[in-house]
Amino acid sequence: MIEDSPFVAAAPVLVPMPAERPYTYAVPAGMRVVPGSIVRVPLGPRQVAGIVWDGAVEKVDAKKLRPIEQVFDCPPIDRAMRRFVDWIAQYTLSPPGMVARMLLRAPEAFDPEPWIEGLQRTFANPDRMTGARMRVLETAEGGLAWTRSGLAHAAGVSSTVIDGLKAQGVFETVMIPPRPVVAAPDPSYAQPSLMPDQSDAAAMLGTNVAAGAFGVTLLDGVTGSGKTEVYFEAVAAALDRGKQVLILLPEIALTHAFLERFQERFGAKPAEWHSDLPPRMRERVWRQVSEGGVRVVAGARSALFLPFRELGLIVVDEEHDPAYKQEDRVFYNARDMAVVRGHIGGFPVVLASATPSVESRVNACQG
């Protein structure tokens, strides 16, 4: 209990504004927060989302403390990401709150996705059988739950046929969990036939990933030499270890052709993250990344601030591209920050380019 206060404790909260340090808020009785918890707090006349941060709280008059209003039902931001935010703030001379702001870009994702109302077959039979009803019953065999529209589409009937069967007790209402934004990639779906040099490079990357330790590899090869196929094998190795993967690309390179190429190798597309992504999809990707449901993200530089739960590999394709540089509010180069993220998280980073930057080439030569 805080002296002269009805609250039991206090916690430092980093809010998304140009603040040089976290602000101290009171923790009401019955509320549990840990470092990394995403909370809603009062800030002046507004309510904003913030992150419970590390470190000791400031000595503030208990009577002046304002309470945390809500703890969102969301996985906490892990220790590695919090260190990453602090490191960027110190390196770029930016307020930590402005760096944290890039992490909190999908506020609607802080609450769980609602479950969907669906239908499931019961043991009852309709009083009269028609061709349309027969198709519905055949489609619904196996006990799987369906959405009303999904079942109607799969059976090739109108929704009124589904409604009629439900009214007769042939289907019962069940709740279906939210659909994943993408299917899970399969590392063994379509293993490629690589040339000897490609196989050697892929084997080295796979060994680095299997070691589960930090290291940076520069993948240098002319256009068309198969760099993508090679680093896809590193992605497969990370997936085999149960890790998530981030593939960074300049937005201009995040094309339909790349997504299809990934799908041909892994049987599913990666989740996308870029400026043209619709807000609702951004929220779903953010949430499912934080819960570990999305295993691979292909995105622009801002994807570096997604709250990965089990990140085990970052690939920076076209690492020389100037599009990785942000020059608004927080100035940084996503290629360099990806290396820092790997160092903090203790996992490998792959830089790929047909024309490596001078600094990457020098670093690779110097080891």
Q: CATH number, domain at 347?
A: 3.40.50.300
**In this structure, is residue 111 part of a structural domain?**
no
Same domain, 229 and 333: yes
* CA 42 to chain CA centroid, nearest Å: 27
- What does the pLDDT read at residue 4? 46
CATH for 30: 3.40.1440.60
Task: Report the domain count for the chain.
Answer: 3
Q: Which has the closest alpha carbon to 268: 172, 347, 190, 161?
A: 190
Given a cut of 80, whether residue 367 has pLDDT beyond it is no
- What does the pLDDT read at residue 1? 42
**In this structure, is residue 302 part of a structural domain?**
yes
Q: Which has the closest alpha carbon to 17: 104, 140, 111?
A: 104
Helices 79-92, 334-345: axis angle to 10 degrees equals: 140
Same domain, 90 and 125: no
How large is the average pLDDT for residues 280-304? 96
Q: What is the mean pLDDT of the chain?
A: 92
Q: Which amino acid belongs to residue 251? A: E
**In this structure, is residue 360 part of a structural domain?**
yes
Same domain, 351 and 219: yes
Same domain, 142 and 78: no
Tens digit of each residue's pLDDT (9 = 90 or more) over 103-140: 998 999 999 988 999 999 998 999 999 999 999 999 99
> Which position has the higher pLDDT, 251 or 81?
81
Same domain, 202 and 316: yes
Same domain, 240 and 340: yes
Tens digit of each residue's pLDDT (9 = 90 or more) over 138-149: 999 888 899 999
Same domain, 244 and 346: yes
On the CB side of 147, CA atoms within 13 Å amount to: 9
Residue 45 structural domain: 9-104
Given a cut of 60, whether residue 7 has pLDDT beyond it is no
Q: Count CB-CB contacts under 10 A for residue 92.
A: 17
Given a cut of 90, whether residue 23 has pLDDT beyond it is yes
- What does the pLDDT read at residue 63? 81
Q: pLDDT confidence of 331, banded at 50, 70, 90?
A: very high
- From residue 244, how far is each of 59, 73, 203, 297, 346 by CA, in Å? 40, 22, 19, 8, 13
**In this structure, is residue 361 part of a structural domain?**
yes
**In this structure, is residue 185 part of a structural domain?**
no
Last residue of a domain, one of 82, 104, 126: 104
> Which position has the higher pLDDT, 4 or 363?
363
- What does the pLDDT read at residue 9? 86
**In this structure, is residue 291 part of a structural domain?**
yes
Q: pLDDT confidence of 357, banded at 50, 70, 90?
A: very high
Q: pLDDT confidence of 300, banded at 50, 70, 90?
A: very high
Same domain, 128 and 222: no
Same domain, 46 and 79: yes
Same domain, 96 and 124: no
Same domain, 204 and 302: yes
Given a cut of 60, whether residue 314 has pLDDT beyond it is yes
Structure tokens at 6: 């009805």
How large is the average pLDDT for residues 18-38? 93
Tens digit of each residue's pLDDT (9 = 90 or more) over 177-203: 888 999 999 999 998 889 999 999 999
Same domain, 122 and 93: no
What backbone phi and psi angles, to 5 degrees, belong to 37?
A: -60, 135
- What does the pLDDT read at residue 80? 97
**In this structure, is residue 125 part of a structural domain?**
yes
**In this structure, is residue 334 part of a structural domain?**
yes
Last residue of a domain, one of 104, 135, 150: 104
Q: pLDDT confidence of 6, banded at 50, 70, 90?
A: low
Last residue of a domain, one of 104, 132, 165: 104
What is the reported pTM? 0.88
- What does the pLDDT read at residue 11? 93
Given a cut of 90, whether residue 56 has pLDDT beyond it is no
